[in-house]
A and B are shown apart, each in its own frame.
Chain A
Amino acid sequence: MTLLTVEDLRISFRDKLAVDGLSFELPAGGTLGIVGESGSGKSSAALALLGLHEAATVTGTIDFDGVDLITDVPWKDIRGARISMVFQEPLTALSPFHTIGDQIAEVYRLHTGASRKAARDRAVEVLGQVHIPDPARRAGAYPHQFSGGMRQRALIAMAIACRPQLIVADEPTTALDVTVQAQILDLLDEVRATTGAALLLISHDLGVVAGSADTVVVMRDGRVVERGATETVLVSPREPYTKALLDAVPKPGEPREITGAPLLRVRDVQRHFPQPRRGSFRKPPPIRAVDGVSLDVHAGETLGIVGESGTGKTTLARMMVGLDRPTAGTITFDGADISRRRGRSVQMVFQDPLSSLNPRRSIGESIADPLRLQGERDPRGRVSALLERVGLAASEYDRYPHQLSGGMRQRVGIARALAPSPRLIVCDEPVSSLDVTTQAQVLALLEDLRAELGLSLVFVSHDLAVLRQIADRVAVLREGRVVEIGPTAQVYEQPQHAYTKELLAAVPVTDPVEARRLRALRTTVSG
């Protein structure tokens, strides 16, 4: 039985068409995935299902179990009761002023007219259902007291509180760590199976929908590119764009023989951050962001450093370029202490290209700055050459960061790092904010530059797939320590440490069969 039928849906903001003729069907209890890069109109479509657009014109047909969701909708009986939504940012999506339990109970009371006590009990019940430990007590917590994954669980609990027929999940895992992402996806799948609600899963990541969705819709610029069974679309796509998307997903790289001598040596490095006193007079123990790391970066190699948020990978990267000093231990570059070397030989590419470029300086000037520091009087010529080298036009010199796309900005970040002709570049999550096709282009650029200029790279990332493509060796970081380090193929194929295994099982893959196999594996590992 078909629960939701969308036909020729068009959404426009003033004169801009965000969704242009979207059609799909979702059977009761089924899962549909909508995949697209940023600006493809997938989120606009999701908001239209709940009538949440304020300034948009929506036309077409949305038939939800016999109710037309475009004209004259009794939203009071639909929103939260029959269709519920899970949003992208779990921190901001929940009210900071009310406890988790109160927020869930409020929704439940509103739609069922239950007593305060019954609503409270239901809140605790659904929190238990999404595996929040000690739900009766945690219901009294505020969102800021929850971790990101817990908040997303709470939002899912809110979504299932009124036993809806449809759950719309818009990028539900984008802000989360890879292992947490896998848990949330497994949870959504479990919730669908146990409650019988249909699931509409929206993501930019093919791997996110591969393991869950029966049907996939691929969107681009508001239009449907391809639609069909997940097995067909993700394994043997017909459309060139879908193929390009799948090709852009990182693939394991060819193993290389690294013969270079150790260039950067990290020895027993610790970095502790003292914590302020709270209430009591005893000083709390410091946060051990990096707690005894030793590794070498050889000349000509790409060393991948993988870890989830809070594992100290950014702190380690900052110390490698001398932006931060270790509390204990030494970092030497070519035999000399890193803190004595100024700038030139080691450079950094930052995670967020927008906030790491001065918004009031043109990009050319930003790239020229390190050259001027070296005493170059008129760096314009060299900056132009650098811009062209990273795939931008020399005429972009006078443009400002906000005028560029995310991928272009990251190219600027790379050009700036290249400017002083360094021997080692430390990249901290350089592609994590980019769409998958842009990500593939930037990775290819880095790979080219490394080969052409004989650079060494340290590539810090939370994304195991990206590292598998680009890194020669991988170090797995956990709680400020290296738990495993070795050649990439070896770490991925024969992981030794339990944490590495857990990480690898959580990596989203685009092959639906493999994705389901990994889900089963995760259930056995955690169960």
Chain B
Amino acid sequence: MIGYLARRILGAAFVLLALSAIVYALFYLAPSDPAILTCGKGCTPERLADVRAAMGLDDPVLTQYLHFLQGLFTGRDYPAGPDVRHCPAPCLGYSFETDQPVTALLLDRLPVSFSLAIGAEILSLAAGIGAGVLSGLRRFRVLDRIVNGLILAGYAVPVFLVGLLLLLLFCVHLQWLPFPSYVKFTVDPLLWAQNLLLPWISLAVIQTAAYARLTRAGLQDALAEDHIRTARAYGIPERRILWRRALRGAMLPLVTLTAVDLAQIMTAAVLTETMFGLPGVGQLLVGAVNQIDLPVVVGVTLLTGLLIVVANAAADLLYAAVDPRVQLR
């Protein structure tokens, strides 16, 4: 177990390192010069040179990358005019655009993204498993058809359409909810939830479809297994068979999917964030890409990688906890 964790962490570190190198290389190859963008209008060649030096763009790319790694682990110093600015570890550099530390930017945005992800995930798991079980049992033909239809519709409809319809309905026509704006959980939990309700629902519409499909298929497979027949032959009540045996088998693939989805919403729910005005990580990334804000892009990419690697490891551990046949080695 400990050996497994150690190997897992080592592997994750390697993945992240490789990821940072690739992202760094890609952006270095990009044709536009960040120094020109930073320097702005009316830039003189002398100023441009200064900016280049300040941004460290004169060094060879490998040196730049090594400096970046150094900052990540021990912190580094940036020349800022006559002074020196110390950036403590883990240092991802300063945004070219706003001059704020990237770490601070990320920390600022993460709670928003996390709020969005956790709520959407809980909502879609509840709805998805519920709908999947109902249709997987095949007790009610009509219900099975309806759920199936909804699942397909959920897959087909793009998230921005759902979001726009929700906004129109609840905020404009019925006026039950104010237009969403992010309120911190620590400030007012009720307002927090109220403002996030619509984004949660619109994300959940799509995810629910996937979860319901998976649950439905998993449950049908699990119910056809021999040990379910044994349980029936020994008089174990149908409800107990469903909850204690069949559903347990059907849930296994959901574990992995949920973990990865969680990580994905936290960094890539750009459309939802934009539509509902949530200052999350996804928005940060899009802005940074548009501005060729290299440090921010690298920071978000590394964060995405980290979250996905952690989510996958967590899924494996959970998997082993649910299924005794799985051994971690």
Contact = CB atoms under 8 A, between A and B. Distances in A.
User: Do A and B assemble together?
Assistant: yes
Interface of A: 50, 52, 75-81, 84-85, 87, 89, 92-98, 106-107, 110-111, 142, 144, 155, 158, 276, 278-279
Nearest to A279: B3
Given A97-B323, A278-B329, A85 B227 contact: no
B234 A84 contact: yes
Interface in B287-327: 322-325
15 contacts: A50-B233, A52-B229, A79-B232, A80-B236, A84-B234, A92-B225, A92-B226, A94-B227, A96-B323, A98-B244, A98-B245, A110-B234, A144-B324, A279-B3, A279-B329
Nearest to B328: A279
B77 to A, nearest CB: 41
Contacts of B157: none
A170 B272 CA distance: 57
A78 B234 CA distance: 8
Contacts, number: 74
A94 B232 contact: no
Interface in B191-216: none
A202 B267 CA distance: 60
A85 B245 CA distance: 19
Contacts of B329: 276, 278-279
Interface of B: 3, 225-227, 229-237, 244-245, 248-249, 322-325, 329
Contact of B236 (A50, A77, A110, A144): A110
B234 A96 contact: no
Contacts of B236: 80, 106-107, 110
A94 B233 contact: no
Nearest to B229: A52
A80 B234 CA distance: 4
A76 B325 CA distance: 31
Given A77-B235, A80-B234, 6 more contacts: A80-B236, A81-B235, A89-B226, A94-B230, A97-B244, A279-B329
Contact of A97 (B229, B235, B237, B324): B324
| Chain B residues touching A, majority SS | helix
A462 to B, nearest CB: 23
A79 B226 contact: no
Contacts of A84: 233-234
A234 to B, nearest CB: 29
B229 A110 contact: no
Nearest to B226: A92
Contacts of A93: 226-227, 229-230
A80 B226 contact: no
A276 B235 CA distance: 42
Contact of B235 (A76, A92, A96, A278): A76
B233 A96 contact: no
A106 B236 CA distance: 8
A30 B225 CA distance: 31
Contacts of A78: 235
A197 to B, nearest CB: 15
B139 to A, nearest CB: 13
B325 A87 contact: no
Nearest to B2: A279
A107 B230 CA distance: 11
A96 B323 CA distance: 8
Contact of B233 (A85, A95, A276): A85
A96 B325 contact: yes
Among B236, B322, B329, the one with the most A-chain Cβ atoms within 10 Å of its Cβ is B236
Contacts of A85: 230, 233-234
